[in-house]
Structure formats: structure tokens, C-alpha cells
Amino acid sequence: MPFIIVAENCTGCSACEKRCPTKAISGDPKKSYFIEPTLCIDCGACGVICPDEAILDTFGNITHVLKRAERPTAIVHPDNCNGCGVCIDVCPFDCISPSPHNGPQYLGRVQVEEKTCVGCKLCEEVCGWEGIYIMPGEEKEAFLTSLGYESQATA
């Protein structure tokens, strides 16, 4: 079941429409918005920023606004990412790019612009090497530390 907007709760603020990676959400400002079920990929990007608690998730539960650190974002696994670029190609927000540390002999890895990443999961789904994960931003440091890295060194 795709995400659904509860018309009675929606104030038409357009936050969900701007954040939707597949452009599944449409409507007129200050009126109730609508999610096109065939375009919705159930990523939840809309639900974490809806100030009106007007979005139901795939299980029929009302979603809640999350603080920026709690929102899902793409985190690169430094040991598994090989810099192939499949995630770059699939990202609808162009927030994934080759790392500037890559060279001609070594593809290296990718980097994520976390401010524009909505955590839509498309990159994670296409990566065949477990090189990128979607997780709350606040978990990044612990994740990288568990791998023996500092979060600033892999940004």
C-alpha cells in the first residue's frame, strides 16, 4: 500500500511535494495534496517533514515530523563502496557524486550531500556491494566508528 495523504488534515503547505523523489505528490497550495499510488515508492520522505500529520505510511499509521538528525539519509560504507556510480545515476536529487579523492586508476567511492538527501532508498536498492545504506543521520558517526573510521574523513 502506498503512502496516503489524509485530506482533512492536509493544509496544502507543499512540503511533501517538494521532498518527493518521484514527483508522486501534487496539489494546489493551501488545498489538500494527493499522492499518485503508481508513482509512490513508499520511501517515507514525505512523512518525515509533514507538519500537519496528514500522511499515512504503508501500514496505515500517521507519520510524524522528524528532526533533521533523525531523518533517514544515505551513508557510504567506506570499505564496500567501489565508486561504480550506479547510485549516482539513480539518485533523483543529485546528492550523490564521485569523491574528490578518486583517481584515474581507482574509482574509489562516492560521497553524499546529506542536506539534499531525502533517504528515498533508491541508492541502497541498486547497490550490489552494500556500499551505501539509508539510516538516521544521527547514527552515521557510530556506524563509521564501528568500522574504524571517523565520520568527517569519509564525507
Bridge partners (DSSP) listed for residue 112: 96
> Is 52 in the same domain as 79?
no
Note whether residue 91 is domain-resident.
Answer: yes
Kindly give the parts of the chain with pLDDT less than 50.
Answer: 153-155
End position of a domain, from candidates 15, 40, 65: 65
> Is 84 in the same domain as 144?
yes
> Is 51 in the same domain as 80?
no
Assigned C-alpha cell, 111: 560521497
Note whether residue 88 is domain-resident.
Answer: yes
The domain of 57 spans 1-65
Question: For the chain, what is the domain count?
Answer: 2
Cβ contact 109:39 at 8 Å = no
> Is 7 in the same domain as 54?
yes
Assigned C-alpha cell, 96: 550523490
Note the pLDDT tens digit of each residue in 29-74: 999 999 999 999 999 999 999 999 999 999 999 999 999 999 999 9
